[in-house]
Structure 1
Amino acid sequence: MFLSYLTVVIATTIVLVSCHDCKDFDLSASDQSFLMKHYLHTSRKEEGLSTGKPVASGVTYVRWGKKGCPKGVEMVYTGQVGGNDFTNKGGGVNYLCLPHDPENGESVKGGNDQLYGAEYQMDSSYKPPGMNSNLHQKEVTCTVCYQRKRSAVLMIPGKKTCFKGWTLEYTGYIMSDHKTHSSKEYACVDKDPEPLDNKTGDENGALFYGINTKCGSLRCPPYKDRVSVLCVVCTK
């Protein structure tokens, strides 16, 4: 109780002292109360910044290819990957993590179909080393994860370890659609991916292929020619 009273006195004193040069301006009790609350609120923000503690309560990221989050990380939802069909020449280029319990819109008439499921294309030619070859032409799963007490999330291509001061969430391989198809983003797919279900069918849609490096404009060394591309997701 005494500490609370002392804090109020100090805050009020600072506000009044900071305004000692003010002329023809009298602070009412309500004005002083408002300024004091503003000072305390601002001080808390500045204290958080000065100590290096994150203001945000956490960060979210998509764990591509998995039905769950790393140990100790909260799962927001799990679902299936969707995206634009590989033959479409326009429209969206990013993959989406679609929840299993959608709130569907109204029926429409039109020919702008863009949201398809996604399949692994994991035959011997396009499978990153170490990944399960039984995933070929199975649908891709995903999970949205919430990591508390973090303020930043970073996917690093070409690495399987995080830089100093960062916490590893998961490692994997960079995957995307085939270079001859419509453009898609580069996604960091977990090194031990899972299928959405046991259904196997060549239904296509948005596709996931392993990708390789190509030396030239990409400097080798330090990179190597025609190797799979590792990736890691880190938080801080």
Structure 2
Amino acid sequence: MYLLCVTFVIATALLGVDSRECNDYDLSASDQSLIEMMKHYLHTSRGGECPPQGKTSNTGVTYVRWGKKTCPKGVDIVYTGQAGGNYQSHKRGGVNYLCLPNDPENGQHQSYDNDQVYGGEYEVSSTSKPSGWSGSMGSKEVPCAVCYRKQRSAVLMIPGRKTCYKGWNSEYNCYLMSDHKVYSKRDYACVDKNAEPLDNKNGDENGALFYPLRTKCGSLRCPPYTNEADVLCVVCTKSNV
């Protein structure tokens, strides 16, 4: 109500200015003071309504949640899919894991020989698996979900930790996995500690494989690290305010 009253006063003053000859008119000290007061009031009263320059309330970040079909609670899901990538024995070509959507828009059939997009499988057993996992996960396909966390400005995967540093928010914690060291090089992926299979099929068709990793002391300093241990990781995001 007060804002409306002040607006009316300043509008009346400016109307009086416009009713005179513009070329001849000079603002009096009281008129100038009133205008400056109104500018200051509008600037301060609207400070809470307008976001700071360079920041908007609808910004966010995306990340892949490997090993799960859903995103963490309160996080929007962009799409759910299946992990994939280049075949485990191929020595060239793509090296990163892919989160392939479950509703693809397929291209035309081709006859040339350069197949590089396969499904991904957990390569674990009762004697080679992350702590807490079941060996029955072996050779089952890996699901994934692409997640969108609103009002975040950065996303970071931290290897060797299960908690985020101060000022960062944990999205999910997990085990660091990749292909086996005797095969071609592959990106490291942070696979959810409570990973699940894509479905109940168990074809052992290989493709882009996910092996559990462990540390090796030497050039890796122990302590603080521990020799031949599970490698933990955590996906963290940072607020934009």
Could you list the per-position Cα deviations for residues 154-199 of structure 1 after superposition, in whole angstroms to 9, with x for gaps in the alignment?
A: 0000000011111110000000000001111000000000101000
What residue is the counterpart of 1:202 in the other structure? 204
Distance 1:131 1:107, change over 3 A: same
Q: Could you tell me whether the CA contact under 8 Å between 1:59 and 1:147 is conserved in 2?
A: yes
TM-score, with normalisation over the residues of structure 2? 0.76
Aligned equivalents of 2:122, 2:104: Cα separation in 1: 23
Give the conservation status (yes or no) of the 8 Å contact 2:75–2:149.
yes
Structure-1-length-normalised TM-score: 0.78
One-letter amino acid of the structure 1 residue matched with residue 236 of structure 2: C
**Paired residue for 1:38?**
none
Q: Is the 1:117–1:206 Cα contact (8 Å) retained in structure 2?
A: yes
The range that moved more, 205-214 or 124-133, is 124-133
Q: Does 1:87 align with 2:89?
A: yes
Corresponding residue number in structure 2 for 1:110: 112
Contact 2:58-2:150 within 8 A present in 1 as well: no
Q: What displacement does 1:149 show?
A: 0.4
Give distance in 2, aligned partners of 1:133 and 1:74: 31
Distance 1:54 1:223 in 2: 41
Identity across the alignment (%): 62
Question: Runs of 4+ in structure 1 displaced over 6 angstroms?
Answer: none
Specify the alignment match of 2:140 in structure 1: 138
2:58 and 2:234 map into 1 onto residues whose CA distance is 22
The alpha carbon displacement at 1:54 in A equals 6.2
Q: Distance in 2 between matches of 1:199 and 1:117?
A: 13
Match in the other structure for 1:127: 129
Matched, 1:233 2:228: no
Measured in 1, the distance between the counterparts of 2:152 and 2:56 equals: 7
Give me the whole-angstrom Cα distance separating, in 2, the residues matched to 1:58 and 1:177: 31
Q: Does the residue aligned with 2:136 lie in a helix, a strand or coil?
A: helix
Name the count of aligned residue pairs: 195
Q: Which has more radius of gyration?
A: 2
Q: How do residues 1-236 of structure 1 correspond to structure 2 at under 5 angstroms?
A: 2=7, 47-49=52-54, 57-236=59-238
Q: Which deviates more, 81-90 or 118-127?
A: 118-127
Q: How big is the shift at 1:55?
A: 7.4
CA distance in 1, matches of 2:112, 2:195: 35
Assess if the C-alpha contact under 8 Å between 1:132 and 1:193 holds in 2: no
